[in-house]
Amino acid sequence: MKNCYSDLEKVLSHCGCMFNDVIVEKVSTTDMPKFLDLVGYRAEIYKKKTIPTGSCIGVKELAIPEFLIEIECRRA
C-alpha cells in the first residue's frame, strides 16, 4: 500500500498535482482483511482534507499476480 501511494505521489507530482487534488479513489485488493487493517494509512496521505469519494473492491487477482493492491485516482 505504501509503495502504491509513493508511486501515485510521483505521478501526481509529474502532473503538477498533490493528493489533495484527488476527488475519486478506487482501490482493488486481493486481501480485503489486510487492507482494512491498514486503511488508516490513507489518513496520512490525505492530510488536508477528508479521504476522497470512491470504492474499495475485493478481487480474486490483479494483472500482475504478486500485486496485492491497485489504486486508481482521479483529480479535479
Residue 25 burial (C-beta neighbours within 10 Å; 0-12, 13-18, 19+): buried
**All residues at 6 or more sequence positions from 9 whose CB lies less than 8 Å from its CB, including other chains:** 19
Domain count for the chain, please give it: 1
Q: What CATH code is carried by the domain that includes residue 53?
A: 3.30.1330.40
The beta-carbon contacts of 11-15 under 8 Å, at least 24 apart in sequence, are 12/73, 12/75, 15/75
Give the residue among 21, 4, 2 at the shortest CA–CA distance from 62.
4
* Residue-by-residue pLDDT tens, the chain, 76 positions: 999 999 999 999 999 999 989 999 999 999 999 999 999 899 889 887 788 999 999 999 999 999 999 999 998 7
| 9: containing domain | 2-75
